[in-house]
Chains A and B, each alone.
Chain A
Amino acid sequence: MSSNSFAYSEQSGGGEATELGQEATSTISPSGAFGLFSSDLKKNEDLKQMLESNKDSAKLDAMKRIVGMIAKGKNASELFPAVVKNVASKNIEIKKLVYVYLVRYAEEQQDLALLSISTFQRALKDPNQLIRASALRVLSSIRVPIIVPIMMLAIKEASADLSPYVRKNAAHAIQKLYSLDPEQKEMLIEVIEKLLKDKSTLVAGSVVMAFEEVCPDRIDLIHKNYRKLCNLLVDVEEWGQVVIIHMLTRYARTQFVSPWKEEDGLEDDEKNFYDSDDDQKEKTDKRKKSYTMDPDHRLLIRNTKPLLQSRNAAVVMAVAQLYWHISPKSEVGIISKSLVRLLRSNREVQYIVLQNIATMSIQRKGMFEPYLKSFYVRSTDPTMIKTLKLEILTNLANEANISTLLREFQTYVKSQDKEFAAATIQTIGRCATNISEVTDTCLNGLVCLLSNRDEIVVAESVVVIKKLLQMQPAQHGEIIKHMAKLLDSITVPVARASILWLIGENCERVPKIAPDVLRKMAKGFTSEDDLVKLQILNLGAKLYLTNSKQTKLLTQYILNLGKYDQNYDIRDRTRFIRQLIVPNEKSGALSKYAKKIFLAQKPAPLLESPFKDRDHFQLGTLSHTLNTKATGYLELSNWPEVAPDPSVRNVEVIELAKEWTPAGKAKKENPAKKFYSESEEEEDSSDSSSDSDSESGSASGEQEEEGDSSDDSSEDSSSEHKSDSESASEVGNKRTAKRNSKSKRKRDSEDGENENEKSKTSDSSNADSSSIEESSSDSESESESESESESRKVTKEKEKKTKQNINPLTKDVSLLDLDDFNPVSTPVALPTPALSPSLIADLEGLNLSTTSSVITKEVRLKTSEEKSRKIFKDYNPHIMVSTPVFVPVKTHVLLHRMSGKGLAAHYFFPRQPCIFGDKMVSVQITLNNTTDRKIENIHIGGKRLPVGMQMHVFNTIESLEPEGSITVSMGIDFCDSTQTASFQLCTKDDCFNVNIQPPVGELLLPVAMSEKDFKKEQACLSALHLPAQQTQEC
C-alpha cells in the first residue's frame, strides 16, 4: 500500500512538473509576440496592486478573480507572495479564499508557504472551533514535507480537542499526513486508536476512514470499539455510515464463524443467546454441535437493517452488501426490495445497482424473482442499462416465467438498437439451454429470425443456433435441413459460414442434403466471401471423409478452385486439406487420422453469464464494477473455522463506569446519540448483555436531567425517556384526537362537501390550481366523498377493484401502511397482463411485421368442444390463439399454513397455454415457508385423480428457506370437466391432502378471430345447443 502511494506521488509529481514547465514558459515568454500573455501579465500586475491596497473590498475582489483563475485551471502561482500576505486578514471571506489559494499552490512554493505557518499555529488556539478546525484543515492540506512535525503535533492536540468538529478534522488530517509522509504511520496509528474510542457520531465515520487508509490490517484496534460502532451507526452521518459498514463487513468475516452451514434452529438461538453470552465456554462447546450465532454478529446485522431505508443509495448498497456477505442466507432476502427501489434513481445509480443485482441473481434467483418486471427494458433506457437488465432477466428465467419473458424478448428483438437486439438473441439462446422445456420453442423462434432483414440479427441468430445444436446434436436434423434451405436466401457471410460448418459437422445425419449443398456451393464458389470459402473447403473435406463415393469429384473440384484463389489463406487451407485427406505416398501417418481430426467431438460452447466470475469481489466496490482488482482493494477474508476469542470485544465494566460518568456529563454538552436509536435500546434492555445494560442504565439516568426546551440541541436530541413519554402522551393525544376526528369527521364530511365545492370554485382563481386543505382530517373526508362521487362514472366492477386497492392505504392509524402489501404473495398477485398464447406462435411471430391495428374480436372458446379443438389442430388461419385481455389476480388457497404445519400454498390460474401439454391447464403454485426452519424436499406425492385426468407435477423442491417463497408451475388436464384433482403435497416429514377444482372459466383458451368467423363458429356451436352468450365473454 505504502509503496503504491509512493510510486504514485512520483508519477503525479512528474506530471505536474511537466505541466508546470509548460505553463511557466508560456507566462514568461517574451511579451511582444503574444498579445494574450502580455495582457495576462498586466492583469496580474493589477491584481497585485489590489491585494496590496488597504481596502478589504479591493482585496476581496482580487481574491475572487484569482479563485476564478484557479477554477479554470489557469496558473496563478506568481501571485503567491502577494496573496500569502493576506493570510492573517480579519475578513473571514478573504481569509478563506487565501486558504483556497494556499492549498492549491503551497506545494509548488514551499519556502514562501512557510511564511503562513505561524498564522495557522496561532489560529489552532483560537477560541472559535470553526477557526481552529479550518486552520487544521489548511495546515494539513499544505503538502510541504518540512512541516510534518508541526502537523503531527497539531493533529495530536486536535484529537484531544473539546469540539468534536475539530476532532473530526483531525481524523481527516491523519490521512493527509500519512500520504505526505508514510514514515509517520506508527504515531498516526496511536492517534487513530485514541480517536476510535471517541463517542461522538461526528468523528466515527472520519476516523474509520483514516483507519481504512492507514492501517486496515490492524483489526485488533476495532475489537473494543465494535459494539459502540454498531450502536452508534444509525446516528452517524450518511457518508460515515458507508465507510463503517464496509469496514465492519470485513471485520465480521474475520471474527465470526460462518452462519451459512447449518441454519436450523437459528431463531431459537437468537432468543437465548444473550443469556449464554456470560459463559463463553459453554458456547464454544455448543458450537461444535450446532451453530450459534455470536451475539455481536447478530448485533451488527440487526443494527444495520434500518439503514436499508436510507435516502442515500450508497448507504443502502453498503447494507445490502453487508447482508449478502455476512448474514444467514435466510435473511438476505430483505435487501432486494430496497435495491429494486434504487432503480427509480438516476442512470448512474441504476448502472451500479443493476451490476450488483446481476451478480446476486446468479447465485440466488429467488431473491429477485418477485421483482421480475422491475427489470423490463424501456426503449429509452441507455444501452448499458438495457444489457444489464437483460442479463438479470436471463438469470431470473425459470420454467414458471419463461413464457412471459420470451414474449418480452420478442419486443426487444425488434428494437432499433441493434446491439441490444443482438444481445437479446444471445439471451434467448441462454434461456434455451438453461430451461429444457423451451429449448425447442426457442430454436424455432431463432430459426424464424434467420430471415430477418437485419444482418446483425441474422448473424447473431445463426451463431446462437449453432451453439444450441452443438449441445444436442442428435435431435435436430429437421432444423439443419431448414437451415440448408436458408442458404439460398441468406447473404450475410458469417451466417452462411456458420450454416456450412453446421452441415459439415452433422453431414452424417443429413446424408442426402449435405452433398447437395456442397454441389450448390461449388457452383458459386468463386463469388463467395473468404469466410464462406473456408467453410466450403471444410465441408468438402468432411464429406470426402464420410461419403467419398458421392462427393469425391466435387471435393476435388473445389480443392482445385481453392488452389488458385486470390487469398493466400484459402490457398494454404486447400493445400493442407488436400494433403490430409487425399491419400498418397507423402501424406504419411496423419492421413490415417484425418477423419478423427476433422470430425472430432467438439466441445459445445458454454453459454453463461458474464457476471459469473465477479462474485469473488466484495459487492458494491469499485473492483466489482470494473471486474479487476482496484488499487487499495481490501480482500474479504473467508470465515474462520473457529471463531477467535469473542471476549476481546468485551468492554470492562470498571473502565466503563469510569468512562461513563464523564461521558454522561459530556453528553449534556454534546448532543446525545440515542435520539434516533431510542427504542432500539428498549428492545435490547431485556435481553442485552451486561455492558449494554449499563449503557441503557446510564442513558436513563441522564434522562432525568433533560429539560424541556427544544432550542438546546443537546437536550432535544437526547433521551429516549423524553420521547417515550412524548410518545405515550402522543398515543393519548391520538386516542382523544381520533375520537375527536371521528366525531369531527361526521361534521366535516358535510362541511367537506361544501368546502370541496368551494375549493373547486376557488381553483380557477388559484394559479397553482392546488387545493390547500387546512386540516388533514378534512382532507380525508373530502377525498373520500370525492372518490365516491367520482365512482359514478366508473363501471361497478372497476370500482370494486379500485376500492380494494385503495383500502389498505386508507387505514385510520397509519399514514402509509405500505407493508400491507405482502411481497411474498406478489408473484401470484400480479399476473402478467400480456401472456403468451403459444410459445411457438410467439417466436414464430418474431419475424412478422408488426400488425399495426387489425381490429380483432376476442372470443374464448371452450376447449372441450371437439369442433374448436379441430379448428386448432387444423390451424385455421382465421382463429389465432391470443393473449387474454384480463387475468384475474385472485389466488386460491391450496394449503393453509395452519393445516400445513407452516407450509402455505396458494394456486392461481395464469391463463397461459401450458408448456407441458396442450390439453393441460397451467396452474401456478406459490409455496411459502412461514416456519422458522427450512422445509425440505417438497414434492407431490400420491395422486387421486378421476379417470382420464392427468397431471404434470413440478420438480421436487430441495429446500425452502424460512420466510422464503417459491413459485412453481404445473399442468393439469381436467378433461374439460370441473372435477376435483386431489393429490398429496409432501414435505420431508409430512404429507398433506390438497384439492384443486377449476372454475369453468379457467378451462377456456382465448383466441382471436374476425367477426365473420366468429359468427360462423357461433352458428356451429348453437347447433350443439349451447347458448351463444356463454361463449361470448370478452
Chain B
Amino acid sequence: MIHSLFLINCSGDIFLEKHWKSVVSQSVCDYFFEAQEKAADVENVPPVISTPHHYLISIYRDKLFFVSVIQTEVPPLFVIEFLHRVADTFQDYFGECSEAAIKDNVVIVYELLEEMLDNGFPLATESNILKELIKPPTILRSVVNSITGSSNVGDTLPTGQLSNIPWRRAGVKYTNNEAYFDVVEEIDAIIDKSDDVSFHPCIRFKRWESERVLSFIPPDGNFRLISYRVSSQNLVAIPVYVKHCISFKENSSCGRFDITIGPKQNMGKTIEGITVTVHMPKVVLNMNLTPTQGSYTFDPVTKVLTWDVGKITPQKLPSLKGLVNLQSGAPKPEENPSLNIQFKIQQLAISGLKVNRLDMYGEKYKPFKGVKYVTKAGKFQVRT
C-alpha cells in the first residue's frame, strides 16, 4: 500500500525519507513541488496527486508535509488517516511534531516507522503498544542508557498486540488510580443540524446501542474516548457577540475599523483566551489601531490582524478601533473581511452534556474520578 514516505519542510527540503518496499527516488517529490507551486497557498495543495508511475498522497501538519508514495489503488482516506496517526505518534513521543524534534530523534522516528508499517500495511498504530516496543525519549533514560548500554527497544511482543484490547497493556499497576474526563466542546459558528458520535474502539458498541451507557476498558494514559457532535438549534447558545463597523471609503486611502466584543449567554462563566484574527484585504497597507484591552499585531505581508484580547469583563467591553491605510489609487475592497474568533470558557459544556456517573467493575480499588469541562470556539466565524 504505502510505498515510501517523505517529510518535507516549508522551504521545500526533504529532511527524512523512509521506504517500505524498494527505494523510490527523491525526484518523485518534484511532482509534489510542482503542485505546491501551482497552489500558491499550502492549504490548497491537493492531497492526492497523480504522477506517471506513482500517486502521491500527502497531509499538511504543523508546517510539515508528509508525502507518501503509492503505487496501486488504495482508499485515499486509509493513507490520510494513517499519516495523521504517524504525526500524532510523533506528537505523543516528542511533545511536538516539528522538523527539529524529528531530526533530533531520527533513530526513534525510524524505529517507529518500522513498527507502524510492514510492507506498506499498518502493523502497530496503538500508542500503548508502540510505547512498549519503543520507549519514548526522556532525559533520565538517555543518561542511563549511555552508561549502562541498555536500550530503548523492548524485546518481547507487547501483550496488547495479541489481545482483543490492543489499546491497553496488561498488568497496569499504579499506587493512585485516577480517571479524569475532559469534556471539551467546540462551537462552530455555522451551526450544524444533527448529532453524531464516534468512538474509541474500546467502547462496547452494543451496550451503547441498547442502554446508552458507555462501557469500556480504557487504555492506559490519555486518549479520546468519544467525539460527538450536537446540533445547537438555539442561536442564543453562542456565548459572544461582536459589534463591528469596518468601512473603506471610495477614492480615499483610508478606512475605519471598529470592533467590540461582548459576552452573551455565558451562564455566568468568564469568557477567556479570546483572540480575534482577521484576514484583511490585499489593498490594506497598514493599520493604526488602539485596543482598550490586550494587544494587537498586524502583519503587512500576510495582511493578518491578530488581536489578543484576554478576558471579557462585562463592565468594560473590549474594543479595537482605529484607521486602516489603504494602497492609494487601488479600488476599495468589495467585501469586508470575516472575523475569526477564538475563546474558551472553563467549567462549562455548552451543550449541557455531563458525565453523569462513572462506575468501575472487576477491580477492587476505587479510582479517583475527576471531570473538567471546557467550551472552546471551533471554527467560529463572523461575517461582516
Tally the A-B contacts, defined by beta carbons under 8 Å.
441
Cross-chain contact of A92 among B153, B165, B383 (Cβ < 8 A): B153
Contact A169 B53 (CB under 8 A): no
> A313 near B73 (CB under 8 angstroms)?
no
A772 at the interface (CB under 8 A from B): yes
B354 and A810 within 8 A (CB): yes
Interface contact A826-B194, CB-CB below 8 Å: yes
Q: Is A979 among interface residues, defined by CB-CB distance under 8 A?
A: no
Q: How far is the CA of A769 from the CA of B336 in the complex (A)?
A: 37
With known contacts A777-B357, A805-B233, A309–B198 Cβ distance under 8 A: yes
Q: Does A823 touch B at the CB level, under 8 Å? A: yes
A454 & B197 in contact (Cβ 8 Å cutoff) = no
Is the CB–CB distance between B195 and A16 below 8 Å? no
Chain B residues with Cβ below 8 Å from A540 are none
Q: Mark A282-313, 1 if CB is under 8 A from B, else 0.
A: 00000000000000000000000010011111
Report the minimal beta-carbon distance from B36 to chain A, rounded to whole angstroms. Answer: 13
Contacts of A679 in B (CB 8 A): 206-207, 210
**Complex alpha-carbon distance, A926 and B118, angstroms:** 52
Q: B315 at the A/B interface (Cβ < 8 Å)?
A: no
The reply on B204 being an interface residue by CB < 8 A is: yes
Contacts of B357 in A (CB 8 A): 737, 741, 775-777
Q: Are A671 and B55 in contact (CB under 8 A)?
A: no
Q: Is A73's beta carbon under 8 Å from chain B? A: yes
Among the listed A131, A309, A711, which residue makes an inter-chain contact with B205, where contact means beta carbons less than 8 Å apart? A309
A314-350 at interface with B (beta carbon < 8 Å)? 314, 316-318, 337-338, 340-341, 344, 346-349
User: Does A814 lie at the interface of the complex (its beta carbon under 8 Å from any beta carbon of B)?
Assistant: yes
Q: Does A716 interact with chain B (Cβ within 8 Å)?
A: yes
- Beta-carbon contact of B229 and A141 below 8 Å: no
From B157, which residue of chain A is reached at the shortest CB distance? Answer: A130
* Residue of A9, A137, A818 most packed against chain B (CB within 10 A): A818
Whether A137 lies near B340 (C-beta < 8 A) is no
Q: Does A793 contact B (CB under 8 A)?
A: yes
Question: What distance in Å separates the Cβ of A202 from its nearest Cβ neighbour in chain B?
Answer: 7
Residues of A within 8 A of B276 (CB): none
Contacts of B293 in A (CB 8 A): none
Instruction: Give the residues in chain B near A773, CB-CB below 8 Å.
Output: 370-371
The verdict on B352 contacting chain A, using a C-beta distance below 8 Å, is yes
Contact with B along A72-116 (1 / 0, CB 8 A): 110000000000000000011110110110001001000000000
Task: Given the known inter-chain contacts A790-B267, A801-B236, please indicate yes or no for A239 contacting B77, CB distance below 8 A.
Answer: no
Judge if A67 is at the interface, Cβ distance under 8 Å.
yes
Q: Are A776 and B358 in contact (CB under 8 A)?
A: yes
Residue of A nearest to B314 (CB): A793
User: Quick check: B361 and A671 within 8 Å, CB to CB?
Assistant: no
Q: Which residue of B lies closest to A386 (CB)?
A: B44
Within 8 A of B (CB), among A371-411: 371-374, 376, 378-380, 382-384, 411
Contacts A352-B80, A632-B72, A833-B235 given; indicate if A306 touches B205 (C-beta within 8 A). yes
The reply to whether B162 and A620 form a contact with Cβ atoms under 8 Å apart is: no
Please tell me if the beta carbons of B371 and A673 are within 8 angstroms of each other in the complex.
no
Is A277 part of the binding interface, using a Cβ–Cβ cutoff of 8 Å? no
Docked-complex contact A815 and B193, CB < 8 angstroms: no
Supposing A143-B22, A772-B372 touch, asked if A809 and B227 sit within 8 A by C-beta, the answer is no
A226 interfacial contact with B, CB 8 Å: no
Among B10-18, B92-100, B319-327, the one that faces the other chain is B10-18
Q: Are B234 and A805 in contact (CB under 8 A)?
A: yes
Chain B residue numbers with a CB within 8 Å of A593 are none
Across-interface contacts of A104 in B (CB, < 8 A): 19, 23
Given the complex, which residues of A lie within 8 Å of B37, measured CB to CB? Answer: none
Given contacts A239-B121, A378-B190, A453-B331, contact A677 B199 (CB under 8 A): no
A313 touches B81 (CB 8 A): yes
A201 proximity list for chain B (CB < 8 A) = 164
Task: For residue A443, give the distance in angstroms from its CB to the closest CB of chain B.
Answer: 22
CA gap between A137 and B383 in the complex, in Å: 55
Residue A702 CB within 8 A of the other chain: no
In the complex, which of the residues A815, A819, A853 contacts B356, with contact meaning CB atoms closer than 8 Å? A815
Considering only CB atoms, which chain A residue lies closest to B118 in the complex?
Answer: A172
B221 beta carbon closer than 8 Å to chain A: no
A668 to chain B, nearest CB (A): 13
Q: Which residues of A contact B27 (CB under 8 A)?
A: 15
Q: Which among A68, A383, A717 is the interface contact of B164 at CB below 8 angstroms?
A: A717
- Which residue of A has the minimal Cβ distance to B121? A209
Decide if B71 is an interface residue (CB 8 Å cutoff): yes
Assembled-state Cα–Cα distance A520/B118 (Å): 73
Q: Is the Cβ of A454 less than 8 Å from the Cβ of B155?
A: no
Contacts of B149 in A (CB 8 A): 55-57, 60, 91
Interface string of B182-208 (1 = CB under 8 A from A): 000000101111111111110011110
Residue of A whose beta carbon sits closest to that of B124: A237
B222-276: which residues lie under 8 A (CB-CB) from chain A? 224, 226-237, 244-247, 265, 267-268
> How close is A231's CB to chain B, nearest CB, in angstroms?
13
Proximity bits, A159-172, B CB within 8 Å = 1, else 0: 00001110011001
Whether the pair A313, B80 counts as a contact (CB closer than 8 A) is yes
Instruction: Please state if A384 and B77 are interface contacts (CB–CB under 8 Å).
Output: no
Closest to A382 in B: B43
Whether a CB of chain B sits under 8 angstroms from the CB of A621 is: yes
Q: Is the CB of B352 within 8 A of A810?
A: yes
With contacts A378-B379, A382-B41, A816-B212 taken as known, whether A314 is within 8 angstroms of B234 at the C-beta atoms is: no
Chain B window 4-35, contacts with chain A (Cβ cutoff 8 Å), 1 for yes, 0 for no: 00000000001111110111111100000000
Say yes or no: A318-B338 contact (C-beta < 8 A), given A237-B166, A309-B197, A675-B165.
Answer: no
A777-B357, A789-B268, A815-B356 as given contacts; A129 in contact with B246, CB under 8 Å: no
Closest to A63 in B: B107
B329 at the interface (CB under 8 A from A): no
Whether A239 contacts B73 by the Cβ 8 Å rule is no
Surface stretch bound by B, among A433-441, A467-475, A528-536, A778-786: A778-786
Would you call B70 and A622 a contact (CB within 8 A)? yes
Q: B162 touching A769 by the CB < 8 A rule?
A: no
* CB-defined contacts of B61 to chain A, threshold 8 Å: 346
List the B side residues contacting A713 at CB < 8 Å: 159, 162-165, 170
CB distance from B62 to the nearest CB of A (A): 11
Contact digits for B108-144, partner A, Cβ 8 Å, 1 yes 0 no? 0111001000110111010000000000000000000
- Does any Cβ of B come within 8 Å of A53's Cβ? no
Chain B residues in 8 Å Cβ range of A816: 197, 212, 214, 226, 228, 353
Inter-chain contacts of A734 with B (CB < 8 A): 359
Contact A814/B77 with A770-B346, A805-B232 known, Cβ cut-off 8 Å: no
* Interface residue from B44, B78, B231, B281 paired with A239 (Cβ < 8 Å): B78
Closest to B256 in A: A852
Q: Which of B233, B268, B354 contacts A779 (CB 8 A)?
A: B354
Contact present for B71 and A8 (CB under 8 Å) = yes
**Once bound together, how far apart are the Cα atoms of A172 and B117, in whole Å?**
10
For B188, the closest partner residue in chain A by CB is A344
B151 touches A15 (CB 8 A): no
| Inter-chain contact A622/B75, CB cutoff 8 Å | yes
Q: Are A678 and B171 interface neighbours, CB within 8 A?
A: no
Which residues of B are found within 8 Å of A92, using beta-carbon distances?
151, 153-155
* Top 10 closest pairs, chain A to chain B, by CB: A632-B72, A93-B151, A814-B212, A806-B352, A772-B370, A679-B206, A713-B163, A382-B43, A130-B157, A414-B335
Name 9 extra pairs, CB < 8 A, besides A179-B21, A730-B359, A815-B355: A15-B27, A94-B151, A318-B75, A351-B48, A374-B192, A416-B337, A676-B201, A678-B204, A815-B214
In the complex, 18 of the A-B residue pairs with CB atoms within 8 angstroms, ordered by the A residue number, are A16-B23, A70-B110, A72-B15, A172-B118, A314-B75, A348-B58, A349-B77, A352-B76, A378-B379, A634-B73, A675-B165, A679-B207, A679-B210, A717-B164, A737-B359, A772-B370, A794-B265, A819-B195
